[in-house]
Structure 1
Amino acid sequence: MYKIADTNPSNVPLQRSRQEGLRLGNGDFYGGWKTALASMIGLMLGPSSLLVFCFGTFIIPLEREFNWGIGAISLGGTVLTVMIIINSLMAGYLSDRVGARQLILSSIPLFGLGVMGLSLINSSIWTFYGALAVVSLLGVSLWPVTYNRVTAGWFDRNLGLSMGIVNAGIGLGAALLPVVAGLLTASYGWRTAFLVLGGTSILVTWPVAFWLLKDASAEGTSAHKVAASKVEVSLGQSWSDRQLWLVLLGFFILGAASSGVVVHQVRILMDTGMSMTQAAAMQSVLGIAMIFGRISTGWLLDRVHVSKIMAGMCLAAALALLLLALGAPWGTAPLCAALVGLVIGAEFDVLGYLIPRYFGRLAFGSFYALVYSVFQVAAAFAIGLLGWSRNLQGNYAIGLFIIASMLLVGAQVFFLMGTYRNPPGHQVEPTAAGNTQQ
């Protein structure tokens, strides 16, 4: 049996954590909200948006200029997926030991310059693959794990809402930046688009991070710090922990459901009889639902147990996939897109919330990176599964039925999570923290 560090000595009563309002008693803005805003902006202009969501925008221009073939260019997406896993594991480890702020400030200019450097790509497809790998590595500390970790250090009672605000940055980036990249490419060419996007990333996010984003643990005044967790579990201790395996299984299923459908949704809807324009419009519905899901799920997490929220989300997504497998009857395509978008919007709010509640905050980065990596592996699996289903049967029905069945299992998995080890509002004040073992 693993040991759990109890940061509350038996002779120290538990204290209710701070209200975490917009302003402190002395009139200063609470540092956590400033950090959440900076993190949201960082994710909106970070590699999740500029590399992943904008990737499709550059496929056709690159194909026209270099004649590489759509399939060969699309392999760049696989390169990014592998690098996301590597970067997340590195960032999780480093942020637990060095501090997120230093890592973020160092990575922003390197990543921005790397994006600008993509404008120099030549006719070698291997140069393209290598450039994507290098640029993603230069932004190692700008993926969700680091921003979620630095923000979570500030919050207890409003932890869910803060996670929703941070992760809304990805939704905003996904909704806005591909449009901007497309307009720049159409007007000035893809090389100029990379130059503008990379330069904007530096000029906007670095000053915002410098002035607003802070590590709570580095602040000298206890009024700016969230109370410490009662129970802290290291990643090494957790391998025999039932909760860890439930989280890993649950997020494997979520990765398969959300990413697989996002990649194939336009083709799935065209198979139901929609035109390309109509199917593409459903992507916008999904994006809007994703942004709404980020904020609304964050708000709900501070009021409803995570197991109930995620069980409901899994059932909703399963319904959407079953309807898509049946051809989206009765005009249900917008409903299906909205339900999938809500689930995508919920995923990383939930991950950032449940880690402190079950495992504590000291190894937040390591836990987040592990689960995020499992999520990405599942995403790659599901994208291939749905593609195989389409090639084998001429439609997506088999693959959609399989993933919908997985989501039914996922609902049960999340429902089994059990009570929080670190419930909100009953933490230990920082000055009372100890280091005993139970």
Structure 2
Amino acid sequence: MDHQNSRELNHTTAGSEFSRHWLLVLVCAVGIGVGVSALPFYTQGIFIEAWVADFGWTRAQASLGILGSTLALAAALPFIGLIVDRYGLVRPVMVSLLGLAVAYVMLGLFVQSITTFVMLAMLQAILGSASSPLAYTRAINTVFNKQRGLALGIALSGAGVAATFGPALISSAVAEFGWRGAYFAMALFTLVVGAVIVIVLSRLNGAKTPVNIDAKVAAEAFKVARASRTYWTIMAAIFCLSLGLGGLMIHFIPVLLEIGFTQNDAAKIAGVIGIAVVLGRLLVGFAVDRTFAPRVAIVILGACILGVLALATLGEAVALPAAFVIGFSVGAEVDLIGYLVARYFGMQAYGQIYGRQYAAFLIATGLGPVIFGAVRDASDNYTASLFLAAAFMLVSTTLFAKLPKFQPSSSAG
């Protein structure tokens, strides 16, 4: 963002930011919740058990769809970043939500083998790529400055709402219609909610790109960012964090089933993760506007590590608090990507930088469940997988501790 725009934003009060752009924040929250990075991800654990029963797949095999979809999304996001930088939010989101609904229908109709499952999961990710947080966080970061962290937290809490209600609703749909019918229900839901999102976004100025992006300036800003140590430290910290949390999120319901919970009770406890995601995003967003963001990340990760270790050693007795700290950490995770990119590198190449940082997050999120499932298959229980997840998060904590202070110019956005 140029110096004049930065000065104008610095004169804008937090109150006037929210009074002018509250509807944008709300619609972004709904969009993120229904998008490709939230609803499919948080409900995948429900489908794993159905696939194991129907096809005889191992849990590692059933996790390959997440790996394929996250790798495909990671490959698509740098290009989506360029598109969103240039065209704004509305048209990319409209195309992606329609594509996501089509992909759900295809998953319900055509999955018969691991090969078709992984191919369709990858297609789902590509078709739905602009419904990821990349587009929405760009719009938020562009119009907010004083309380950018809180605005991001509120918008990204839409994923927490999906995590809260998604598992129970999809579990009921699977019980009533089978897992294929549950995919058809997800397609219909995405079409209806997506239509409302696009109609509202098309009427909001904040959904368009309010700053004229100079392609040469953006390319240079991206080149400078990529050459910095900070860029790679953020990427490595997020990658390790996502390796741990990705495996925990996808396998959390199977972990609970293994330690003695029923499917119904496991889904309810998993819903606590969603509540914690919402709280995490709101409180982390509030905190990073007042406290150095990497320090906030370190405190939250420390609590999550303790919760995971407690779950591994104490089992059923600590399932509820473990679910809460895991969800709280997931809530912090995506918040931090958008916030750190905007604060360290500004907005000129935001889509390109965020796209690559988020791609690293997605790759790790896809690898995590496969590693988690493979370790479980090899050891016949989830204890070793839980310890491995805690180790990944400990490495992430160390990397966050190495990040430098924000520069004043970056802080201005």
Sort the TM-score into its range (normalised by shorter chain).
0.7 to 0.9
SS in 1 for 2:97: helix
1:30-56: CA deviation from partner (whole Å, max 9, x where unpaired)? 1x3222211111112222234333444
| Residue 91 (1) aligns with residue 58 (2) | no
SS in 2 for 1:416: coil
1:235-269: CA deviation from partner (whole Å, max 9, x where unpaired)? 22223312112101210121012111112223434
| Residue 338 (1) aligns with residue 324 (2) | yes
How far does residue 300 in structure 1 lie from its aligned partner after superposition?
A: 1.1
Structure 1: how far apart are the matches of 2:190 and 2:224? 41
How far does residue 129 in structure 1 lie from its aligned partner after superposition?
A: 4.1
Q: Which moved more, 1:72-81 or 1:199-208?
A: 72-81
SS in 1 for 2:221: coil
Q: Which residue matches 1:228?
A: none
SS in 2 for 1:417: coil
Structure 2: how far apart are the matches of 1:250 and 1:356? 17
Q: Which residue matches 1:389?
A: 375
Q: Which residue matches 2:138?
A: 149
Instruction: Give the TM-score normalised by structure 1.
Output: 0.79
Q: Which residue matches 1:103?
A: 92
- Give 1:19-168 correspondences, 5 Å limit: 19-22=13-16, 29-30=19-20, 32-58=21-47, 67-71=54-58, 74-116=63-105, 118-121=107-110, 126-168=115-157
Bigger Rg, structure 1 or 2: 1
Conserved 8 A contact 1:16-1:427? yes
Match of 2:346 among 360, 364, 384: 360
How far does residue 74 in structure 1 lie from its aligned partner after superposition?
A: 4.7
Unaligned runs of 5+ in 2: 213-217
- Give 1:210-289 correspondences, 5 Å limit: 210-212=202-204, 214-215=206-207, 217-218=209-210, 234-272=221-259, 274=261, 277-289=264-276
How far does residue 20 in structure 1 lie from its aligned partner after superposition?
A: 3.7
Structure 2: how far apart are the matches of 1:146 and 1:236? 21
Structure 2: how far apart are the matches of 1:128 and 1:340? 28
Q: Which moved more, 1:299-308 or 1:373-382?
A: 373-382
1:80-136: CA deviation from partner (whole Å, max 9, x where unpaired)? 222221232322232223333332233333433443455543757655544433333
1:336-389: CA deviation from partner (whole Å, max 9, x where unpaired)? 221111110111111111111111111111221212221222233433333343
| Residues 263 and 146 (structure 1), Cα distance of their counterparts in 2 relative to 1, 3 Å cut | same
Structure 2: how far apart are the matches of 1:423 and 1:275? 53
How far does residue 153 in structure 1 lie from its aligned partner after superposition?
A: 0.6
Match of 1:419 among 395, 405, 408: 405
Match of 2:304 among 303, 306, 317: 317
Match of 2:12 among 11, 18, 21: 18
| Residues 379 and 77 (structure 1), Cα distance of their counterparts in 2 relative to 1, 3 Å cut | closer
| Residue 208 (1) aligns with residue 200 (2) | yes
Q: Which residue matches 1:403?
A: 389
Q: Which residue identity is paired with 1:357?
A: R
How far does residue 152 in structure 1 lie from its aligned partner after superposition?
A: 0.9
Q: Which residue identity is paired with 1:207?
A: I
Q: Which residue identity is paired with 1:305?
A: F
Where is the helix percentage greater, Structure 1 or Structure 2?
A: 2
Structure 2: how far apart are the matches of 1:208 and 1:164? 20
Q: Which residue matches 1:196?
A: 188
Q: Which residue identity is paired with 2:131?
A: L
Unaligned runs of 5+ in 1: 1-5, 221-230, 429-438
Structure 1: how far apart are the matches of 2:252 and 2:120? 28
Report % sequence identity. 25
Conserved 8 A contact 1:389-1:397? no
Structure 2: how far apart are the matches of 1:15 and 1:212? 18
How far does residue 182 in structure 1 lie from its aligned partner after superposition?
A: 4.1
Q: Which residue identity is paired with 1:383?
A: P
Conserved 8 A contact 1:47-1:142? yes
SS in 2 for 1:419: coil
| Residues 360 and 399 (structure 1), Cα distance of their counterparts in 2 relative to 1, 3 Å cut | same
Structure 1: how far apart are the matches of 2:242 and 2:173? 32
Structure 2: how far apart are the matches of 1:317 and 1:40? 24
Conserved 8 A contact 1:266-1:279? yes
How far does residue 148 in structure 1 lie from its aligned partner after superposition?
A: 0.9
Q: Which residue matches 1:431?
A: none
Structure 1: how far apart are the matches of 2:375 and 2:75? 29
Conserved 8 A contact 2:42-2:250? no
Q: Which moved more, 1:356-365 or 1:381-390?
A: 381-390
Structure 2: how far apart are the matches of 1:62 and 1:393? 21
Instruction: Give the TM-score normalised by structure 2.
Output: 0.84
Conserved 8 A contact 1:356-1:422? no
